[in-house]
Amino acid sequence: MPELNLTSAPAHLRHGSNIGQPLTRRDGVLKVTGRATYAADNHPPGMLFAVMAVASIARGHVISLDVAAAKRHPGVVDVMTPDHKPALAIDPDIKTNPFVFRMEVLQSNEVRYANQPIAVVIAETLEAATEGAALLAPRYETLPPLVGLDAGESFVPPVVGVGNPAAHHHGDVEAGLASAEKQIDAVYETRPQYHNAMEPHAIVAHWDGDTLSIDTPSQAMVMARARVAELFGLAPEKIHIRSPFLGGGFGSKGFLTGPQILGLMAAKLVGRPVKLVLRREQMYGPVGHRAPTRQRLRIGANGEGRLTALDHHARTVSSTFDDFYEPAADASHTLYAAPAIRTTHDAVRVNTGTPLFMRAPGEATGSIALESAIDEMAWACSMDPLAFRLRNYAEVEPITGKPFSSKALRACYEQGAARFGWAKRPLPPRQMRDGAGLLVGWGMGTATFPALMFQAEARAVIRRDGSGAMEIGAHDMGQGAWTALAQIAADELGLDIDRVEFKAGSSDLPDAGIAGGSAHTATAGAAIHSAGAAVIAKLADLATNDERSPLFGAGNAGVVARDGKLFRRDDESRGESYAEILARAGISEVEARGTGAPNPAALEEFAMHAHGAVFAEVKVDPELGQVRVTRMVGAFAAGRIVNPRMVQSQLFGGMIWGLSFALHEEAITDRRTGRIMNANLGEYHIPVNADVPPLDVITVEEHDPHVNALGIKGVGEIGITGSAGAVANAVWHATGVRVRRFPIRIEELLTQR
């Protein structure tokens, strides 16, 4: 089977009207009627329930578990502990590739963080397993845990994020600061946050001899399959992972987590299918989170309000046993045209589960600090924050000097500001009140997120009945992959969307890569694009080489595929349907594969990012300090918009997470025990409906010929960036109080009245 990778200028054109249409979710009815099967909805015959017991200390050792008591409880089948568990094929601590993170799978009795799994009880019912876990009554030898940003000696991590250098610089920062007429030097703190997807991590595992069937939510099925294969010593083909729907992932379902592996081990141990579902509080530990940061920004500007230097240092934490460092300072690489930029990171190790990718990792934390600091600098220069940002608009990527592949940020600023009415903003804070006497403030932030591409493959088929199929193991986390990717598939096959069988969400389909980094539509879309081009090319070959076809000899001119037919590009009165071509050739179907991948040459030449501008209005009670966001406008330029309705939802969601970052989200860690004291959705606050104002999203036209063949940039994460800072800046503008610790709390706003 030939593998074609047509990323530009294909010989044949496919015309469709699906991309760009605001289709509603094709899986929407299934979801609202409860017929969409999420992982935990599966109940293979004979299935048992597994419940984890988790550590209530953050550091030390488990010295005893009352396994006998748990086993005596009616319904309990077995108790898996470090002493009683199936062996793994390799040591799970070995990093076989950079995307392997260490996990707790009962390898020892050591406890490294609170809520670490320490045993698994397997029983006939969920209730029996739950009570069995309680009966284990663990006893510990407790050591003083490492907690917080000052927990120990700091060090410079080898890399931050995914392989980024921990330090970067360009130009002479100290000289830039020394020459500045205005300077700010400010420290911002962000708190730990947890993904809190609605759907908890869940796994239903079913061993049948040496084949393994798995239902589990995954943002990267093929990578997950490879991890299972190496841990259990299986050939990947023996493992089938199904993940048709995710109830949110936000990064926490990107890698298989310890609890998921424990579900597989439990099923192996008892020789029956097993379901393991995390309870909400168990998600505060073994499935990743966003680390806290403390960021120092030093910024200088000259008399005209032009930046002379930007110095951004971020302190963060990682676990005691693995490495992931929130690349917060890297947010300063791309946005503002300072002649000298330095970004540095350091870290301490604490007793938590390893922090991981969460909703714009680095970009979000860095953005709220950077956008606050830019706002402070604008005020120091007595300039409007938008004028200040425009004065320092980066025409090329500041840290590298590369041109942007496209950058419609100016249009975002203009359209967002116009829609918001920004021009009427008074420069000083605490100037506006509403009719009820509440303080009103307006703030803005710039949004940015890299336009990434990973690797993906797709398989396209055109059948003799004139229908088509597109197969790709893509992931729908709720963002709408079932719809948006099917729209791309329909256009690439030159078919109506109802004539395309779109298959996704299963590991036996071609690898769609990872649904992360806001790159899934771009990456999977590119694979679909090239598979579609390849299958059309094959079909065109059949026709143009066959003298009985009206398309005979059109090979050089090329054909156009549209509505299930091929037409001569130079004479559209001559055409033939897919069905006719295949019938005459006596073939039941043609198929082809295609891949999507980053284009190294373009990456070398261009800086590629999506951009946006977010404007927020808050009201603050002048005496009581309670804050409410009353209006938000976001204008985003993210290349080609495949489905405007879904893109709008993604951007709404991002803006709400931004609001949440500025005002609500915080895991409260007991400083003595390292335990999280609000590990539930009652007390880990995220915005409720009453907190979310009318949101206004503008998608700014942007054509990008370089990012990928379809010109798609991501929209999944950019919404949180810019938004968090916009809300924080609006709080300052309302009150005159600059809060540099997020989320902003009532007590900080009571300082003045």
Partner 1 sequence: MKPFDYVRPGTVAEAIAAAAQPGAVYLAAGTNLLDLMKGGVSRPNRLVDVTHLDGLDRIERLADGSLRVGALVSNADLAHDSEFARSYPAVAEALLSGASAQLRNAATVGGNLLQRTRCTYFYDTASRCNKREAGRGCNARDGENRSHAVLGWSESCIATHPSDFCVPLVALDAVVEIEGRTGRREIALDELHRLPGNTPERDTALEPDDLIIALRLPPAARSFAAHARYLKVRERTSYAFAVVSAAAALRIENGKIAEARLALGGVAAKPWRARAAEDVLRSVAPTADAFRDAAWRALADAKPSGDNAYKIELARRILVRALTLAAAGTPARLPALPASPFASTSGAVHA
Interface residues with partner 1 (CB under 8 A)?
56-57, 127, 130-131, 134, 434-436, 438, 619, 621, 623-626, 628, 630, 663-664, 668-673, 675, 677-678, 683, 685, 687-691, 693-694, 745-747, 750, 753
- The C-alpha angle with vertex 709 and arms to 707 and 710, in degrees rounded to 5, equals 90
DSSP letter for each residue of 147-188: -STTSS--B--SEETTTEES-EEES-HHHHHHT-SEEEEEEE
Which of 118/528 has CB closer to partner 1? Answer: 118
Which of 571/683 has CB closer to partner 1? Answer: 683
Which of 35/671 has CB closer to partner 1? Answer: 671
Which of 63/427 has CB closer to partner 1? Answer: 63
- CB 35 to partner 1: min, Å: 24
User: Residue 644: in which H helix or E strand, if any?
Assistant: helix 644-663
- CB 625 to partner 1: min, Å: 7
- The C-alpha angle with vertex 405 and arms to 307 and 532, in degrees rounded to 5, equals 155
Evaluate the CA torsion angle 99, 102, 106, 108 in order and state its sign: positive
Which of 452/620 has CB closer to partner 1? Answer: 620
- The secondary structure of the chain in percent helix, strand, coil, rounded to multiples of 5, reads 25, 25, 45
CA nearest 176: which of 311, 8, 346, 372? 311
d(CA 215, CA 432): 54
- CB 113 to partner 1: min, Å: 14
SS3 letters across 113-136: CCCCEEEEEEECCHHHHHHHHHHC
d(CA 325, CA 344): 12
- CB 622 to partner 1: min, Å: 10
Which of 134/234 has CB closer to partner 1? Answer: 134
- CB 719 to partner 1: min, Å: 20
Q: Torsion angle of alpha carbons 384, 386, 388, 391, nearest 10°?
A: -140
- CB 635 to partner 1: min, Å: 22
- CB 730 to partner 1: min, Å: 15
Place of tokens 């798609």: 712
Instruction: Read off the tokens for 149.
Output: 């940003």
Which of 548/672 has CB closer to partner 1? Answer: 672
- CB 122 to partner 1: min, Å: 17
Q: What 8-state DSSP symbol labels residue 59?
A: S
- CB 184 to partner 1: min, Å: 27
Evaluate the CA torsion angle 641, 642, 645, 649 in order and state its sign: negative
Place of tokens 């700010």: 184
Cα 157 from chain centroid? Answer: 23
Contact 470, 533 (CB under 8 A): no
- CB 120 to partner 1: min, Å: 18
Which of 181/696 has CB closer to partner 1? Answer: 696
Residue type at 94 in one-letter notation: I
**Cβ neighbours for 677, distance < 8 A, ≥ 6 positions apart:** 668, 669, 670, 683
Contact 487, 25 (CB under 8 A): no
Which of 186/668 has CB closer to partner 1? Answer: 668
d(CA 628, CA 634): 17
d(CA 508, CA 385): 51
- CB 632 to partner 1: min, Å: 13
Which of 223/632 has CB closer to partner 1? Answer: 632
Beta bridge partners of residue 53, listed in sequence order:
119
Sort 439 into a burial class: Cβ within 10 Å, 0-12 / 13-18 / 19+: buried
- CB 325 to partner 1: min, Å: 26
Which of 58/582 has CB closer to partner 1? Answer: 58
d(CA 88, CA 383): 62
Sort 47 into a burial class: Cβ within 10 Å, 0-12 / 13-18 / 19+: middle
Which of 131/199 has CB closer to partner 1? Answer: 131
- CB 249 to partner 1: min, Å: 24
d(CA 118, CA 38): 26
Q: At what angle do helices 258-270 and 221-232 cross, to 10 degrees?
A: 50
Residue type at 188 in one-letter notation: Y
- CB 56 to partner 1: min, Å: 3
Which of 101/657 has CB closer to partner 1? Answer: 657
d(CA 328, CA 331): 6
Measured distance between the N- and C-terminal CA atoms of the chain, rounded to whole angstroms = 73
d(CA 251, CA 325): 14
Which of 260/673 has CB closer to partner 1? Answer: 673
- CB 557 to partner 1: min, Å: 59
Which of 138/564 has CB closer to partner 1? Answer: 138
Which of 240/745 has CB closer to partner 1? Answer: 745
- CB 442 to partner 1: min, Å: 16
Strands 456-463 and 439-450 come out as unpaired
Place of tokens 């797709």: 458
Contact 117, 258 (CB under 8 A): yes
